[in-house]
Amino acid sequence: MAFSSWSNNINIYLNDVTFTGVGQEQVDNFIVDVQPYENACPTGQIRPTLTINGGRMINCGSSPYYNVLFNANSTLYMNNFEFIMNTASVLLFAISDNVTVVDTTFQDNTITELVMYVTTLIPNAPVSLINNSFIGNSGLGTDQINGVYMYGGVVTVDNNQFINNINNTVLINLIDSNNVSITRSTFTNNEMYHYPQETALISLFNSKYLVNNCTINNNTALTQIRFLNSSGTLSNVVFGNVNGLEGAAIICETGSITLNNINNHNGLQLLACKQPDGFESCSIHGNFHHTCPKSGGVIAGIVIGTIGGAALLVGISIYIFKRYKRNQYKTLQ
């Protein structure tokens, strides 16, 4: 343990702190742990706040089942931080009512579950990822692996770079988000092959979204973007070359989608519809003329991915609870 706080109503600042080689001899512990003592603060009460300005975490963690930075039930603001060449289950884990990650680099890390996990405690909690770089991160193992996994909240993903990441199931996986905005972001040279899960660069379930001014080029994936029971707009999106594509660049599975000013340079099918039994087909609007056929068929891939995500949430929560029960922590007052 490098840093731990279980105090309520406390503000913690880490300015230009570097963690190097921490956790090389420990497997069942965290490097940074900030949360209320014993029980989470009830909704509406002040929670701990963790603010990180500058600094690095380099070559930390000796096991892929080691959480490099864990942050539960606290407000998180991270600015200009670097995660470089770490080995972990999850690099950044946040259960919060407010998360902001700005100008942060995740590069050459090895993970078995997630680069970043965020779940919100209230429906309209803000989650902002701005000007971040996800470069050369590698998935390890046979479970579902995600780059960024977010559950709930109002999500802003602006001007992020996803480059040369390999062996992930999904790069951005969003579930039950009231409002999602993915803008000015680039997805280049990512190898999204991870059997047996259906792979995608972006996956949204039960969410409202806007994807605008993004470039997707030279990736390996079964599909580029997939939507299930979600509604929103894609505009000014450029699709470049893609390897391993099965079907279409965009998969819409119930819900609605509006397409405006889409540049499809991969020469393959742009949009396909999948309709589970008993559900309405996807409705399509905008300047792309296409109608989804009314047909049945179970959407196995996305169902597996969604169930896997829910199981991941429950599994991680139980795992962390048991871990806390087994360990004693020093409390920073």
Going by C-alpha positions, the residue among 180, 184, 187, 240 that lies closest to residue 204 is 180
Average pLDDT over residues 66-92: 83
pLDDT over threshold 60, residue 203: yes
pLDDT at 320: 47
CB neighbour list of residue 180: distance below 8 Å, 6 or more residues apart: 155, 157, 174, 204, 207, 208, 209, 210, 232
Q: Are 140 and 171 in contact (CB under 8 A)?
A: no
User: So where are the chain's domains?
Assistant: 3-326
Q: What is the percentage of the chain residues whose pLDDT exceeds 90?
A: 38
Half-sphere exposure of 316 (CA within 13 A, CB side): 25
Q: Are 83 and 110 in contact (CB under 8 A)?
A: no
pLDDT at 95: 86
Of the two residues 180 and 60, the one the predictor is more confident about is 180
Q: Which residue shows structure tokens 């360990």? A: 327
Taking the C-alpha atoms of residue 313 and residue 309, their distance in angstroms, rounded to an integer, is 6
Of the two residues 209 and 10, the one the predictor is more confident about is 209
Taking the C-alpha atoms of residue 64 and residue 73, their distance in angstroms, rounded to an integer, is 24
pLDDT at 26: 54
Task: Quick: pLDDT tens for 88-139.
Answer: 888 888 888 899 999 999 999 998 888 999 999 888 999 999 999 999 999 8
pLDDT at 332: 29
**pLDDT category, 330, cuts 50, 70, 90?**
very low
Task: Quick: pLDDT tens for 215-232.
Answer: 999 988 888 899 999 999
pLDDT at 312: 54
Q: Are 240 and 267 in contact (CB under 8 A)?
A: no
